[in-house]
């Protein structure tokens, strides 16, 4: 599965937990990602933001 | 997460009081890079040791469960064909040893970078690269029980002619300073070219029934998101720290793009010729993973700092429809001296090639295969018995053509201290002339054979020194792998009929 978004892609803990029906740490994202392209701008407890700076 | 990261990573650092900082970190000045504030290095992952080990252990557990299942169920028999494994032989011989070298150099960076943030990121990557080495060896060792070409990859990496291409590439990076290494491997290899290099191998595995390789690939690639981030943070950090760093970094991008791109020539032929079930063409992969993602995305972002796309990028784009054909045609003729086999692309394969390369295959390369088809009819599958001249920089045989003319071989000559040196392209010549003192020292396998350093003067002498045994190389049809594959499948068919009766 490949996901693309123009300019900015945000993964929030809340929305993943809602879909999974269980608790989910953003670090777990590392187990699911096989390749990415872009710039990981933010990675904290609540969200992962992939976006270019400029 | 932020506080934990600060406490467990940055707060564990201290200021030396009775030794000078430059004595503690003696390697971060000689390259001319200026760093004013190491604390400005961002690590968006905010990974701590406990989180790191927890998730890495989980990744390993998943992988080894797949490996066990595959081995127990004789999964190797469900591959598309034994010839698929040529791609994996190339991977084990050419790429796995690089993982180990990456492990070594990131361990060095984990000691020698001044800032605690980048040191910890380098430490994690160093451990990751060791894990990649180990998981790749474990995964492919299962095939070593049944197929040729897997048994002597470490020694071959140091000795065999086509493996000097990836080896010399990485040695070039290992012998650079810490910042050049970061741009060479962290940025150019791990960010710029990583999807182009690894995704084709992993997709090839998944398309050809190789579940273990697909799983180790995905497992390794999941670490790669951190490695890509480290590479990107490294370049942004250097560019933001001092304007004087910009031209130094630009020259490294120019050099390392071309160095890395030349290594991907092996991936190009693998995608277009080695996979029994094709995934995508090299041209398509190059357009998506390089032209669209890197030129269309990354370099737009880096333009902010005054960084421009790599110097010889137009030459790379210009050869995207000819590269794989030229490389495979050469490997086809030299595989008697390789630890993988090659074979004539059958009618289906040629139709696929013509469809994917409408502008070049029928016109330029089909005539070569037609000629070879006539050789085969007359019982004369041909191998080249001589030795090729190698490019002084990338060490690939001089098989490339002029950027604007696919029918004329490209050969660039430079003179250094009265001696002549040959390179394969404008890119390699530019790299040579920038640092001739470095590249005149290249260990060129063909020169070494002629100098008597490779086991002896005859082909069998050299192959014995390479540790290449009967069944490792040559023509696939009728090879040991091909014969075994057929007999295992016939046996399997019979037992199936038997059990039904
Ligand atoms: Fe790796
Ligand atoms: Fe890596
Ligand atoms: Zn070259």
Contact B425/B319 with Cβ under 8 angstroms?
no
Mean pLDDT of B420-433: 98
B59-92 per-position pLDDT tens digit: 999 999 999 999 999 999 999 999 999 999 999 9
Q: Do A40 and B300 touch (CB under 8 A)?
A: no
B293: closest chain A residue by CA: A37
Cα separation, B166 vs B163, whole angstroms: 6
Ligand nearest to the CA of B444: 3
Q: Where are the domains of chain B?
A: 2-14+24-490
What is chain A's alpha carbon radius of gyration, rounded to the nearest angstrom? 11
pLDDT digits (tens, 9 = 90+) for A3-18: 888 889 999 999 999 9
Separation of alpha carbons B259 and B272, rounded Å: 21
**A9 min Cα distance to partner chain B (Å):** 14
Each residue of B100-122: pLDDT tens digit? 999 999 999 999 999 998 999 99
pLDDT of residue B497: 44
**Which fold would CATH assign to domain B2-14+24-490?**
Ribonucleotide Reductase, subunit A (1.10.620)
Q: How many residues does chain B have?
A: 501
Indicate if the pLDDT at residue B500 is higher than 60.
Answer: no
Cβ–Cβ under 8 Å, residues B150 and B462: no
Under the banding of pLDDT at 50, 70 and 90, the label for residue B493 is: low
**CB within 8 Å: B301 and A36:** no
Bigger pLDDT: A32 vs B405: B405
- Give the mean model confidence (pLDDT) for residues B330-339: 96
Residue B190 alpha carbon to ligand 2 centre in Å: 6
A50: left (phi over 0), alpha (psi -120 to 50) or beta: beta
Complex-level ipTM: 0.88
Rounded-to-integer distance, Cα B320 and Cα B322, Å = 6
Residue B461 has pLDDT above 80, yes or no: yes
Mean pLDDT across chain B, nearest whole number?
94
pLDDT band at B494 (very low <50, low <70, confident <90, very high): low
Instruction: Please compute the mean of the pLDDT values over residues B242-263 and round it to a whole number.
Output: 97
Distance B353 CA to ligand 3 centre (A): 25
Give me the numbers of helices (H) and strands (E) for chain B, helices first please: 24, 6
Q: For A14-52, write each residue's pLDDT tens digit.
A: 999 999 999 998 888 888 887 788 888 888 889 999 998
- Summarised one tens digit per residue, pLDDT across range B255-308 is 999 999 999 999 999 999 999 999 999 999 999 999 998 998 899 999 999 999
pTM value is: 0.94
Q: What is the mean pLDDT of residues B397-402?
A: 96
Percent of chain B clearing pLDDT 70 (strictly above): 98
| pLDDT, position B492 | 65
To the nearest 10 degrees (0 to 180), the angle between helices B245-263 and B426-434 is 130
Of the listed ligands, the closest to the CA of B230 is 2
Sorted by where each begins, the domain ranges of chain A are: 8-51
Contact B265, B396 (CB under 8 A): yes
């Amino acid at each position: 599965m490949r996901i693309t978004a123009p300019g900015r892609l945000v993964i929030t803990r809340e929305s993943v937990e809602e879909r999974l029906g269980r608790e989910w740490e953003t670090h777990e994202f590392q187990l699911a990602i096989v390749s990415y392209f872009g710039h990981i701008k933010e990675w904290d407890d609540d969200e992962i933001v992939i976006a270019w700076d400029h | 997460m932020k506080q934990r990261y600060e406490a467990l990573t940055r707060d564990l650092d201290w200021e030396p009081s009775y030794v000078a900082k430059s004595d503690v970190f003696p390697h971060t000045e000689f390259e001319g890079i200026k760093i004013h504030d190491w604390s400005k290095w961002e690590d968006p992952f905010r990974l701590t040791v406990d989180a790191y080990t927890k998730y890495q252990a989980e990744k390993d557990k998943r992988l080894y469960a797949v490996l066990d299942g595959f081995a127990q169920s004789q999964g190797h028999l469900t591959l598309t064909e034994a010839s698929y494994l040529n791609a994996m032989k190339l991977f084990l011989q050419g790429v796995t040893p690089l993982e180990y070298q990456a492990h070594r150099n990131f361990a060095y960076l984990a000691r020698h970078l001044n800032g605690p943030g980048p040191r910890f990121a380098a430490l994690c990557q160093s451990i990751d690269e060791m894990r990649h080495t180990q998981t790749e060896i474990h995964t492919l060792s299962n095939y070593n029980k049944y197929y040729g070409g897997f048994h002597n990859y470490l020694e071959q990496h140091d000795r065999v002619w086509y493996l000097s291409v990836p080896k010399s590439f990485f040695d070039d990076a290992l012998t650079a300073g810490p910042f050049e290494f970061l741009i060479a491997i962290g940025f150019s290899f791990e960010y710029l070219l990583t999807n182009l290099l690894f995704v084709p191998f992993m997709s090839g595995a998944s398309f050809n029934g190789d579940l273990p390789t697909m799983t180790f690939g995905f497992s390794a690639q999941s670490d790669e998101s951190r490695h890509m981030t480290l590479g990107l943070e490294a370049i942004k950090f250097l560019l933001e720290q001092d304007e004087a760093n910009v031209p130094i970094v630009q020259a490294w991008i120019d050099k390392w793009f071309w160095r890395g791109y030349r290594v991907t020539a092996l991936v190009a032929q693998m995608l277009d010729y080695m996979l029994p079930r094709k995934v995508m063409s090299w041209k398509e992969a190059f357009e998506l993973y390089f032209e669209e993602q890197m030129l269309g995305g990354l370099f737009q972002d880096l333009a902010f700092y005054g960084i421009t796309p790599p110097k010889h990028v137009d030459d790379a784009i210009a050869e995207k429809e000819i590269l794989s054909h030229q490389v495979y045609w050469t490997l086809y003729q030299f595989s008697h001296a390789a630890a993988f086999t090659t074979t004539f692309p059958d009618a289906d394969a040629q139709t696929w090639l013509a469809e994917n390369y409408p502008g070049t295959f029928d016109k330029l390369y089909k005539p070569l295969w037609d000629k070879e088809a006539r050789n085969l009819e007359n019982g004369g599958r041909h191998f080249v018995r001589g030795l090729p001249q190698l490019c002084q920089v990338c060490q690939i045989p001089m098989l490339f053509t002029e950027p604007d003319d696919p029918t004329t071989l490209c050969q660039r000559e430079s003179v250094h201290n009265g001696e002549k040196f040959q390179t394969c392209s404008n890119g390699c010549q530019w790299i040579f002339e920038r640092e001739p003192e470095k590249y005149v020292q290249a260990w060129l396998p063909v020169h070494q054979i002629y100098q008597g350093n490779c086991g002896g003067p005859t082909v069998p002498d050299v192959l014995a020194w390479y540790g290449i045994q009967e069944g490792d190389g040559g023509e696939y049809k009728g090879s040991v792998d091909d014969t075994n594959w057929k007999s295992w499948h016939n046996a399997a068919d019979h037992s199936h009929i038997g059990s039904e009766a």
